[in-house]
Amino acid sequence: MVVQALKDQGVDTVFGYPGGAVLPIYDEIFQQNDIRHVLVRHEQGAVHAAEGYARSTGRPGVVLVTSGPGATNAVTGLTDALMDSIPIVVLTGQVPTFMIGTDGFQEADTVGITRPCTKHNWLVKDTSKLSEIIHQAFHVAKSGRPGPTLIDIPKDVQFATGTYTPPAKARVSHYQPQVKGDTAAITRLVEMIETAERPIFYTGGGVINSGPGASQLLRELVEATGFPITSTLMGLGAYPASGDKWLGMLGMHGLYEANMAMHDCDLMINVGARFDDRITGRLDSFSPGSKKAHIDIDPSSINKVIHVDLPIIGDVGHVLEDLLRIWKARGRKVQKDALAKWWTKIEKWQAVKCLSYTNSDKIIKPQYALERLEELTRGMDRYVATEVGQHQMWAAQFMGFEEPGRWLTSGGLGTMGYGLPATVGAQMAHPDSLVINVAGDASWLMNMQEMGTAVQFRLPIKQFILNNERLGMVRQWQQLLHGERYSHSWSESLPDFVKLAEAFGCKGRMVKDPAELDDAIKEMLAYDGPFILDVLVEKHENCFPMIPSGEPHNKMLLGDASTDDAIGSSGAVLV
């Protein structure tokens, strides 16, 4: 039943780790060839790999793990997927039904433990309901705001027999989120677009989750209106980075021009974002002079953080389609003169060049490393994952994404150890594509065991480690906000990453001379197999721009990126 249900859901890959409570399912997997099973080295790695698969394909990732510690090891990945709205389905084994509650060997209350970090979960006690529940789990994971679901299957249920329910007969009518937006509300938004003088599109991961059609509609709307557009970390790629209306990422480490435009706009159109605290800064000072419209499929996201003037509940793709149709029918009106003045103001903010940094011919600056990686891989069939920390923000700042689904990162939860297994999942889904993980030395070590998975399955994933021998973002906050008291933020006894690569059976190289960086990157890209490139970078470089915790958008630390004259009238802060 389990294997047939997965086949009927179109599943071709499962990431998992066997154990006693799921051996009946593993025995069935052994006897078929339609579904590939990827043996990970840790259950957290399995869920992150499934996330990488899901983000890069738009299809649910599937995980199979055993009971007890197998299930509890998956909790971090489940929470990560819930925060970032990633569709995954996790199947866990459980002790037999008659042993539940007895503290049996490898028993845990999986349903209780995972209730807060899944969209929905099930404990299956009746074999006749098993297949229908699996179909329901896929429906819930994919529908509305996507997210993780979990099915806990006791071992005696796995051994039993029953009647299989095909997907077409599964009961899913009880969960049908609203996808069409209210026409009157959409018309009101069109009226706001027609009269706005300083508008901005603020976009998020919901555009990508809605599917490629939503991204195309967004691009058409931006080009037709001429409005500037910015994006959250999760929304990168929905609008092309090469587009002339693109202001870059906004938020705590977003671009100066994006944050200033958000602060000074008079109409903010939120498309599939959730007003996350990394975006808003201080709530009472967040874009104080703007009218705010919010398009979101999740009603619970509306007015949860920021009160908006115009809520529109619905799928981004459907709402944008109706928005474009109504706006065109009313004559494609915008305030052209006011919009030209708005762009003049934005261009002055862009002239600050907030990503400028002082380069060196002696030591590799992390910004330079990512500039070179971007330059040498631009235009390739490329997927980029990251770990979490300074390197993640630099990658978002210096690497450009032209289409959705190419950027794989942990946004809401900020999970160190995410990137390496995510590249495993993405490479399994796209065997002929270039898949790179931009990592920090500390983050990368958290799930380094998945290099074994990459070698076993001959996955040519590229690990681009910016090695500053520090917990970089922690050290930065300690420097700026905690009186330079560096409490446990310096990594000691780091491994030799080249020898580690060799120990795993793949290739590695260390580079520290800026003059040799291009050659090292080219070697990494040319190698037909997993590769670890250990890039020794400036140890105390800080990631700017930065909105300090508790400050509004127009109070940014820009480091050495600009002059006092350039920002003196803006209210920004120079560190």
CB contact burial 525-540 (16+ within 10 A = b; e otherwise)? bebeebbbbbbbbbee
Asked about 106 being catalytic, the answer comes back as yes
Helix (H) or strand (E) holding 155: helix 155-159
Question: Whole-prediction pTM value?
Answer: 0.95
Using alpha carbons, list the distances in angstroms from residue 113 to 87, 117, 139, 229: 19, 8, 22, 40
Q: How far apart are CA 419 and CA 248, in angstroms?
A: 22
119, 142, 155, 245: the catalytic one is 155
The whole-angstrom separation of Cα 1 and Cα 164 is 6
In this predicted structure, what is the pLDDT of residue 131? 98
Q: Which of 482, 484, 472, 474 is nearest to 367 (CA)?
A: 472
Above 70 in pLDDT, residue 574?
no
Distance CA 18, CA 64 (A): 8
Which is the catalytic residue, given 106, 449, 456, 478?
Answer: 106
Reply yes or no on whether the pLDDT at 565 is more than 50.
Answer: no
The average pLDDT across 175-192 equals: 97
Mean pLDDT computed over every residue of the chain: 95
Domains along the sequence of the chain with CATH? 2-169 (3.40.50.970), 183-350 (3.40.50.1220), 366-536 (3.40.50.970)
Give the active site residue among 7, 32, 98, 105. Answer: 105
Distance CA 434, CA 298 (A): 34
pLDDT above 50: residue 561: no
Q: Give the distance, in angstroms, between the CA of residue 376 and the centroid of all CA atoms in the same chain.
A: 23
Residue 551's pLDDT band, with cuts at 50, 70 and 90, is confident
Contact 505, 445 (CB under 8 A): no
Q: Quote the pLDDT of residue 560.
A: 53
pLDDT tens, residue by residue, 501-536:
999 999 999 999 999 999 999 999 999 999 999 999
Query: Does residue 531 have an active-site annotation?
Result: no
Known catalytic residue at 105: yes
Helix ranges, 281-365 (H): 316-329, 336-350
CB 287 within 8 A of CB 251: no
d(CA 575, CA 558) in angstroms, rounded, equals: 6
Phi, psi of 523 (to 5 degrees): -65, -45
Summarised one tens digit per residue, pLDDT across range 88-145 is: 999 999 999 999 999 999 999 999 999 999 999 999 999 999 999 999 999 999 999 9
The CA-CA-CA angle for residues 310, 282, 262, to 5°, reads 55
How far is residue 260's CA from residue 264's CA, in Å, rounded to a whole number? 6
| 426 in Cβ contact with 53 (< 8 Å) | yes
43 part of the active site? yes
Q: What is the pLDDT of residues 353-372, one digit of tens each?
A: 999 999 999 999 999 999 99
* C-alpha atoms less than 13 angstroms from C-alpha of 63 in its C-beta half-sphere: 39
Position 155 pLDDT exceeds 90: yes
Can you tell me the distance from the alpha carbon of 548 to that of 558, in angstroms, rounded to the nearest whole number? 11
Distance CA 559, CA 458 (A): 43
Of the listed 473, 510, 524, 546, which one is catalytic? 473
